[in-house]
A and B are shown apart, each in its own frame.
Chain A
């Protein structure tokens, strides 16, 4: 069960502003999703190894070798606002 308060809390963390209707709607749909996933709990996983990843891969590394970075002009071209070679954002403490 997902309550409206749960939705408000998660929306707060994600910096989302929701209308009252949306909160009601997401409480229901999020609840449905969780309920669906919960069905996994009925499956017998006694013989399945615990994993943190879906791919059967381990230790994928790169060597510690420098590669060229991207030109600052190109980097900053994607920014909504820049100043003195930096990204500019609203004030934070």
Chain B
């Protein structure tokens, strides 16, 4: 039987605020254990949380950038459960009145274009971090992360494959970066995915029993976990069994997912309105002010590249996936008079290749965009050959030096001086009378040999077009 996988994602993103959601403790990453805590984020009795203004602003921004409607009236609620990463024994979150509801995003792939619904975006506090590697098996708790502001973006079950889920998650990341809502540093856990997944016979309208896989923190883990869980559920159904509704845990190292807890043990969170915090009321004027401040979003930017600069849709999509890359690309196109597609070829070719090798993003490019434009101009005016330009580029990528200086230092400037080249070619012809004669007798490939010899003589610096022209004249 053919099966269809149905996927919904819950994405947690740490917001780019300087301080925690309810107190002035810093949110900076990597501080010593429990050095970024205070009585408020530790939930000491008698303390009162006060909502960080910026958190509301970021949540509204994220909502507007994902086509959500913003709730004029929103409130915070307590979600009650016992776990040592939660010092108050409840998490302040939002239950029935989240900041944003009913949005969507478009994703594009081999399947064409598809709209993924966003159910809601709410604000909440992050939990502390549990460390398990003690000798006696006890658990250590670091509350630095406790109280760091999060948004949780809940999607509709609109995705049908790991690829669609990845594209959607990547799109969310791009948008959060563009809007500055989150730095999305995945290796620091700033962006985490929970997957809700079920399978059903293809064509069936009824949803199967779903499982939840929690806390995936890379796109690779997301894809692997979805493929793995989808296969597992199909196997269960094929062997006549039933999928049990439960929470499962993905292990990156073994690439396996295992049961964490079944629904019977599932929590009854007993949500109720947080009495320590007053409601959040957002008027139209506030919302419109934030809408006006939104940057140009990736889809619109991509469309502009296609329409204004004639870039292929694919190129535009790849470049706009990262805001830093898009800014770099645009600066370069503006500094360069030639075809934007030439810039795109270099950005998507050499630049992305070298960045990938380093595992770095566009924000780590060591030279200004105008240097790439300078280099392309040097190619256009014949100062350097295309292959020499690649060498210059690699060096520029490492050192951040100007291309003109590098061309000189690496001795890569092309010989485009007609007189000088004529002299060298004449010498080459003198040394190779046989080839000259072959060519004149009609053996055209002798020409290639003479070009090769000229290039060897000039250590590859001769302008190939000019060499061809002069050779033909002399022969």
A interface list, Cβ under 8 A from B: 13, 15, 52-55, 57-70, 72, 75-76, 78, 81, 83-93
Q: Are B38 and A70 in contact (CB under 8 A)?
A: yes
Supply 13 further A-B pairs (C-beta < 8 A) apart from A65-B18, A69-B38: A53-B273, A63-B53, A65-B24, A66-B24, A67-B38, A75-B37, A83-B140, A84-B33, A85-B34, A85-B35, A86-B140, A87-B143, A88-B141
Q: Are B275 and A87 in contact (CB under 8 A)?
A: no
Of B35, B50, B83, B140, which is within 8 A of A72 by CB? B35
Known A-B contacts A61-B53, A69-B35, A87-B143; the reply to A53 vs B25 at CB < 8 A is: no
Known A-B contacts A53-B275, A58-B279, A61-B53; the reply to A83 vs B24 at CB < 8 A is: no
Tell me if B36 counts as interface (CB < 8 A to partner A).
yes
Task: Give the docked Cα–Cα distance between A52 and B276 (Å).
Answer: 11
The 26 sampled A-B contact pairs (Cβ below 8 Å) are A13-B270, A52-B279, A53-B279, A58-B280, A59-B279, A60-B277, A63-B53, A63-B54, A64-B17, A64-B18, A64-B52, A64-B53, A66-B26, A67-B23, A67-B24, A67-B38, A70-B38, A70-B39, A75-B37, A83-B140, A85-B35, A86-B33, A86-B34, A86-B141, A90-B139, A92-B83
Interface membership of chain B positions 50-82, coded 1 if the CB is closer than 8 angstroms to chain A and 0 otherwise = 111110100000000000000000010000101
Q: Are A61 and B26 in contact (CB under 8 A)?
A: no
Residues of B within 8 A of A69 (CB): 25-26, 35-38
| Residues 95-144 of B at the A interface (beta carbon under 8 Å) | 97, 130-132, 134, 137-143
Q: Are B37 and A15 in contact (CB under 8 A)?
A: no
Interface range on chain B (Cβ under 8 Å from partner): 35 or more
Q: Closest chain B residue to A86 by CB distance?
A: B140
Q: Are B33 and A13 in contact (CB under 8 A)?
A: no
Task: Give the docked Cα–Cα distance between A34 and B84 (Å).
Answer: 31
Please report whether the interface of chain B is mostly helix, strand, loop or mixed according to DSSP: loop
Known A-B contacts A52-B97, A60-B278; the reply to A87 vs B24 at CB < 8 A is: no
Q: Are A70 and B37 in contact (CB under 8 A)?
A: yes
Residues of B within 8 A of A57 (CB): 278
Q: How far is the CB of B62 from chain A (nearest CB, A)?
A: 16
Known A-B contacts A67-B19, A69-B25; the reply to A89 vs B32 at CB < 8 A is: no
Of B24, B80, B140, B268, which is within 8 A of A62 by CB? B24
Tell me if B42 counts as interface (CB < 8 A to partner A).
yes
Q: Are A87 and B140 in contact (CB under 8 A)?
A: yes
Tell me if B318 counts as interface (CB < 8 A to partner A).
no
Q: Are A91 and B138 in contact (CB under 8 A)?
A: yes
Residues of A within 8 A of B278 (CB): 53, 55, 57-60
Q: Closest chain A residue to B129 by CB distance?
A: A86
Q: How far is the CB of A79 from chain B (nearest CB, A)?
A: 9
Task: Give the docked Cα–Cα distance between A85 and B131 (Å).
Answer: 12
Interface membership of chain B positions 8-40, coded 1 if the CB is closer than 8 angstroms to chain A and 0 otherwise = 000000000111000111100000111111110
Q: Closest chain A residue to B268 by CB distance?
A: A13
Q: Are A59 and B280 in contact (CB under 8 A)?
A: yes
Task: Give the docked Cα–Cα distance between A54 and B24 (Å).
Answer: 26
Q: Are A75 and B75 in contact (CB under 8 A)?
A: no
Of B50, B138, B142, most A-chain CB atoms within 10 Å: B138
Q: How far is the CB of B456 from chain A (nearest CB, A)?
A: 64
Q: Closest chain A residue to B142 by CB distance?
A: A86
Q: Are A53 and B84 in contact (CB under 8 A)?
A: no
Residues of A within 8 A of B140 (CB): 83-84, 86-89
Known A-B contacts A66-B24, A69-B25, A75-B37; the reply to A88 vs B139 at CB < 8 A is: yes
Q: How far is the CB of A71 from chain B (nearest CB, A)?
A: 8
The 5 closest A-B pairs by CB, nearest first: A67-B24, A86-B140, A61-B53, A64-B54, A85-B33
Known A-B contacts A53-B275, A92-B130; the reply to A58 vs B281 at CB < 8 A is: yes
Q: How far is the CB of A5 from chain B (nearest CB, A)?
A: 14
Q: Are A60 and B32 in contact (CB under 8 A)?
A: no
Residues of A within 8 A of B134 (CB): 83, 88
Task: Give the docked Cα–Cα distance between A16 and B104 (Å).
Answer: 44
Residues of B within 8 A of A83 (CB): 134, 138, 140
Q: Are B25 and A72 in contact (CB under 8 A)?
A: no
Residues of A within 8 A of B56 (CB): 61
Residues of A within 8 A of B137 (CB): 91
Residues of B within 8 A of A53 (CB): 75, 273, 275, 278-279
Residues of A within 8 A of B51 (CB): 60-62
Task: Give the docked Cα–Cα distance between A92 and B84 (Å).
Answer: 8
Interface membership of chain B positions 397-434, coded 1 if the CB is closer than 8 angstroms to chain A and 0 otherwise = 00000000000000000000000000000000000000
| Residues 135-165 of B at the A interface (beta carbon under 8 Å) | 137-143
Residues of A within 8 A of B17 (CB): 64
Task: Give the docked Cα–Cα distance between A72 and B279 (Å).
Answer: 33
Q: How far is the CB of A60 from chain B (nearest CB, A)?
A: 5
Q: Closest chain A residue to B81 by CB distance?
A: A13
Task: Give the docked Cα–Cα distance between A69 and B18 (Å).
Answer: 13
Q: Closest chain A residue to B55 by CB distance?
A: A64
Known A-B contacts A57-B278, A84-B140; the reply to A62 vs B37 at CB < 8 A is: no
Q: Are B26 and A76 in contact (CB under 8 A)?
A: no
